[in-house]
Structure 1
């Protein structure tokens, strides 16, 4: 019998282990003092959303996205994220940075301004893509916010790991295969992240005005799922019927990129009926199942940093997988920066074990079971009698979680032994604490509902209070003068770079778009 990958890893010396490389992209809405989505342009003091390396927008002009650099420790990453938050909070004026994933008060699609990126062809392409999301799915779904966690391992680890496994591929191909090995196990276990970190069990009534749903009434302005963990990742959040035909289960890079490429070049009748223009205005990039790769909604993605005007598929095919992006994380409304240290350390442990555990390819039947497990935990993860399909058997959800925790324990002990301290055992213990023994669930979704109930506030008012509290805390903290100066420089340089791009663009947008689609 072949030696297990865990056993191979345990034979590493402490000096062979260089830790993780990590970063986070954290979204959040700007809202006015009445709790309504901001109608103002992106603050100029925050720079150009097209070219700023740390501060941009996602779908909406009001939906900020804060991006850390790649860091080698959780502490450095969270410190960077907090610095970005401090700078943003200093430049929001009377507005608040919404601390929850499900949005503030809205008034239909028209109240959600689509992000603007200037008059350059790249800027217009980004705007037209978002116009396409609006005509395909409506704008309401695009007002939801989350945190994306990016993780990679250094090449020094991959070379040692490749040698230990006796693998003779090129390093590029080996890394890509190993990241997909990890992703397959992530698919098998992603339900656990929704249980542990789902924090959107409730939403503002304006989000579901004139929409059929099965939520329960919390108060006059709030609906909630009594056992839900993440409405953001459920049927009311990110979903797309057209994409269900893609059937991507992430077995290998070639099939992943081929499937996405086919989707970008396969027309979808409903989108064809809309067309790409309304008069002289471009309203979507194309009429395919996907306009671009980023339109594919998934809990995890293999990623490669792209060059300017390079498509993600091209980057992956030419240089292989560089890191993985975990996309299913709700914002932690109890944290001023939307994520917390124990959560990040647990994610590292969880993802490393996904790489080390056995990971056979996923067939169609298993793919369907995994989707069902994920959807069940999203919709009713705190239901005491919920069971998951694992290995052909039904297992109560809390028992399944404990079994996974037990599996992670030896790896946490190994990493702590190499690093010194108890980082990973503590992070694991914090997650164990969330499961009910005889008492109630202590997962974030349960704590959000409990906090609203104890305060007597609905979703809108409770999140407003949290957002004010976080703003006050961050504004009271002094930003290091060198850090402040660096942000001011990024603002100035990003605005200048956008102006230079716009001045240099002489090609008509229609011609640029045609070339982009053919590339």
Structure 2
């Protein structure tokens, strides 16, 4: 075995405990824009046949009423996770009528902010809060960028690993403290190396000109691919560039990733600190809420980052409070574009690579970060997003310039030992296969999804919108040609019915006014 890892991995190997790295839980969240038969963003409400967006555990909406979000439970076997996502898609298509799902991350079929309907969640206080939050995002950033779709990869380190590492390292922390510290260790390394996700899997090198209808001043920074498309020749993931959450207040936030307490305190500070630009918007005008508050962040979810520490929240519990009370349970990786060539947006090869990368981040040294480090990581991400396939493009590592390909090969070499362990005693060496596939993309940028998309657009002489729509309709036809099996269909129908009932119960049992509800929510300690 080619071991290049540091003490943590060597400890496991020396004590023959490396098998504990297997069977971490993997869950996936996938957003997809719902399009009409005419290929415009759907103006219809969230379909009742799909359940209540507020309460359905697996089918909901993100920012827009037309932006569906599918959520799988976490499974140790990634194939089960992907099978569940496949079943969600099939059930949705069985009940979607003449509409279909856009296969790309960057939206098409939109025409300015007003064409994007904000998601609604009923009359309950929590439903109103979700709506007002989205209304606040509109006033702060515009609606168009909120229609961008992506994949969130949720990963939980095997629970049996933590007590063994805790003992082997002789930690004086409690096990709960050690576990949370371990997750932040992983997060810091992912922030250093996460740009590699954009290079390998970025699939948004081009954008419809209509995307800029509400912000035409941004168009000048792009080249013209054709009459309907803007792009950067070497872009990988414009979704993850500064055309999205481009906000001076977020750019200057100094969120602490060195400890759970530091993270909670710094994020809470942003949620409780007024911001003059948002004060000018107003919170409640003529009795109608425009945003939840006028602070730097309305709530935790407004802070956009490539990775988040997560804990399952109780009803109406603040995410920072859940973390403070129960520590980190899993991490959410947010930098994945939709794989438009895959009907469900992601495959097992990518998922296995990401799992191995996250374990490598956990096992290797992870020095604490300061604001300079954070800015460097952000700069690297933007470089890769805009020009990651440019020949000899350089990033900054430890204060020094380094070729992207050289650093990428270092990252993959450091993952080798983890992949070997995950493949031990298995029928197939799936993790090594995933690693080998990505080595090809590092050696040849033309093989990356972003390059393939541009090449196909050129070969077919299609603007981005027409190309994306063609792929999307092919996926729709494939789903329409089959049906979900009876057993799973009945399960989903039951979940739909239960979700509608649960929403009605929540609305019926509300006793507080919305003003009092918000006051109580934000006063939680």
TM-score (norm: length of structure 2)? 0.96
Q: 2:336 aligns with which of 329, 334, 354?
A: 329
Aligned to 1:457: 462
- Compute the RMSD of aligned alpha carbons: 1.5
Aligned to 1:425: 432
Aligned to 2:419: 412
Aligned to 2:9: 6
Deviation at 1:324, TM superposition (A): 0.3
1:389-400 correspondence runs (5 A): 389-400=396-407
In the alignment, the residues of structure 2 paired with residue 431 and residue 182 of structure 1 have an alpha-carbon distance, to the nearest angstrom, of 21
1:228-247 correspondence runs (5 A): 228-247=235-254
Deviation at 1:39, TM superposition (A): 0.5
Structure 2: gaps (5+ residues): none
Whether the 8 Å CA contact 2:35–2:41 is kept in 1: the answer is yes
Q: 1:283 aligns with which of 290, 293, 296?
A: 290
Deviation at 1:406, TM superposition (A): 1.6
In the alignment, the residues of structure 2 paired with residue 83 and residue 455 of structure 1 have an alpha-carbon distance, to the nearest angstrom, of 32
Aligned to 2:218: 212
Aligned to 1:202: 206
| Gap change, CA 1:517 and 1:16, over 3 Å in 2 | closer
> Relative to structure 2, which stretch is displaced further, 257-266 or 396-405?
396-405
Structure 2 SS opposite 1:289: coil
> Relative to structure 2, which stretch is displaced further, 475-484 or 487-496?
475-484
1:312-351 correspondence runs (5 A): 312-351=319-358
Structure 2 SS opposite 1:23: strand
Whether the 8 Å CA contact 1:239–1:297 is kept in 2: the answer is no
Aligned length: 516
> Relative to structure 2, which stretch is displaced further, 393-402 or 144-153?
393-402
1:17-56 correspondence runs (5 A): 17-56=21-60
Structure 2 SS opposite 1:433: helix
Q: After superposition, what is the alpha-carbon deviation per residue over 1:33-54, rounded to whole angstroms, capped at 9, x for unaligned?
A: 2221110000000000000000
Whether the 8 Å CA contact 1:14–1:418 is kept in 2: the answer is no
Structure 2 SS opposite 1:355: helix
In the alignment, the residues of structure 1 paired with residue 271 and residue 227 of structure 2 have an alpha-carbon distance, to the nearest angstrom, of 43
Structure 1: gaps (5+ residues): none
In the alignment, the residues of structure 1 paired with residue 424 and residue 127 of structure 2 have an alpha-carbon distance, to the nearest angstrom, of 49
Structure 1 SS opposite 2:471: helix
In the alignment, the residues of structure 2 paired with residue 88 and residue 211 of structure 1 have an alpha-carbon distance, to the nearest angstrom, of 37
Aligned to 1:365: 372
In the alignment, the residues of structure 2 paired with residue 49 and residue 384 of structure 1 have an alpha-carbon distance, to the nearest angstrom, of 45
1:101-120 correspondence runs (5 A): 101-120=105-124
Aligned to 1:164: 168
Deviation at 1:365, TM superposition (A): 2.6
Q: 2:69 aligns with which of 60, 65, 70?
A: 65
Deviation at 1:297, TM superposition (A): 0.3
Q: 1:180 aligns with which of 158, 165, 184?
A: 184
**1:516 and 2:518 are equivalent in the alignment:** no
In the alignment, the residues of structure 2 paired with residue 187 and residue 518 of structure 1 have an alpha-carbon distance, to the nearest angstrom, of 31
> Relative to structure 2, which stretch is displaced further, 57-66 or 403-412?
403-412
